Structure 1
Amino acid sequence: MTSPAPIQVRVTHRFKASAERVFDAWLDPEKARQWLFTTRATPLVRAEIDARVGGIFRLSDLRDGEEVEHTGKYLELDRPRRLVFTFGVPKYSPDYDRVTVDIVALDSGCEVTLTHEMSPNAEQYRDGAQKEWARLLGNFDALLGGDSRFVPHG
C-alpha cells in the first residue's frame, strides 16, 4: 500500500547577499535567534545549533511565559547550495516535517527556494506555513542587508 504524499509548501525569495553568506547565516545561532521561528510576540530565548549532518538544533521562543521548542536534525549540509533538516515543535505535535533549502548563486546575490514537506494530514496548515516562511525569509533578507523591512526581535 502506498503512503499518501506529503503536503508541500514552497517559497522562493531572492537575496542580495551571496549564497555563502545566506547558507552560513542559517547555521549561526546569533543570526537565527533574530529571524528564525520568531516574532515580536514570541522572541527566541534559546538558540542552539550543532551545524553538522546528524547535528540538532533547538530554538525556543517564549509564549505566555513558557518556552516552546522548535527542534530538528540536519540531514544534509552542502555549502553553499543546500540544507535539509527535520523540523518539529514537540509541544504541539510528535510529528517531524522535512525542510529543504536550495540556494542558487546569481550574478547579484542568490535565490532561495524553501520546500517544507508536512504530513499528509496537515492540509489545514499549508497556507499558514507558506505565509510564515515568506515572512521569515523577508526578515532574514533584511537582517542580511536586503530591501525587505526588518524589525529586530529580542
Structure 2
Amino acid sequence: MNNQVLKVERKINAERKSLFQAWLDVKDFSRWFLSGELIGIESVTLDPRPGGKFLINMSLDGKILPHTGEYITIDEPNKLVFTWCSHATDNRNTLVTVTFTDLSDVIIENSKEKSQKPKTLVTLVHEMLTNDIQIKNHNYGWTSILEGLDQWFSK
C-alpha cells in the first residue's frame, strides 16, 4: 500500500497555547474547523485525552459526512497526534500530527513605541494517505481549516 504524506503550514498571530486549546474545546472547534466554503459542521464530539475519541459530522449538499478518530498524543501546547478516518480516506485510519512552534516575536512599529505580538507556526502532517486524490482533497481541506483557525484568531 502506498503511504503518501501531506504537510500544510500556517503562521498565525496568536499564542500557541491558545491555538492548541482551540483544537480541544468543542465550542471553539465548531466555530473555526471548516474544510471549505460549501462544507458545514453539523455536530462535534471531542474527548480530548489519549485514547479519547472524536466525531466531526460535516455536512455537504444535505449529506452528513462523519470524520472519526482517536487522540494518541496530547502534549500541550506543543503537539497533537490523532487518527483520522472518513469517506475521503476510504474509511481507513490515517495519522495526523499537528505541531505548534513559537516563532520569533515580530516587532510592530506603533507610533513611538514598539510592541511584540505572539506568532505561532502551525504545522499539520497527514500520513498514510494512499493516492494523489486523497492528497489533493486533504490538502484543500486542511489548508481551509488552518485558514479558518487564522481568521478565527484575527477577529
TM-score, normalised by the number of residues in structure 2: 0.82
What is the identity percentage for the equivalent residue pairs of Structure 1 and Structure 2?
A: 27
The alignment status of 1:138 with 2:135, answered yes or no, reads no
The yes-or-no answer on 1:54 pairing with 2:51 is: yes
**Structure 1 gaps, min length 5:** 147-154
The equivalent of 2:3 in structure 1 is: 6
User: How far off its partner does 1:110 sit?
Assistant: 0.8
Q: Which amino acid aligns with 1:87?
A: W
Q: Deviations over 1:81-131 (max 9, x none)?
A: 000000011597230110000111123221111100133x32322123223
Kindly tell me: are residues 132 and 91 of structure 1, through their superposed partners in 2, closer, same or farther at Cα, counting changes over 3 Å? closer
Distance 1:95 1:141, change over 3 A: same
Render the CA deviation track for 1:48-80: whole Å, top value 9, x for unaligned: 100100001111022343322111000000000
Q: Distance in 1 between matches of 2:88 and 2:123?
A: 28
Does the 8 Å contact 2:36/2:141 carry over to 1? Answer: no
Q: What is the aligned counterpart of 1:81 among 59, 73, 78? A: 78
Say if 1:69 and 1:91, in contact at 8 Å, map to a contact too: no
Number of equivalenced pairs: 142
Residue identity opposite 1:72 in structure 2: G
Structure 2: runs of 5 or more not aligned: 106-117
- Structure-1 residue corresponding to 2:109: none
Other-structure match for 1:123? 132
Change (3 A) 1:37 1:87: farther
What corresponds to 1:27 in structure 2? 24
Distance 1:26 1:33 in 2: 9
Conservation of the 8 A alpha-carbon contact between 1:60 and 1:68: yes
The TM-score normalised by the length of structure 1 is 0.82
| C-alpha distance in 1 between matches for 2:92 and 2:13 | 34
Which residue of 2 is the match for residue 150 of structure 1? none
CA, structure 1 residues 52+83, in 2 after alignment: closer, same or farther (shift >3 Å)?
same
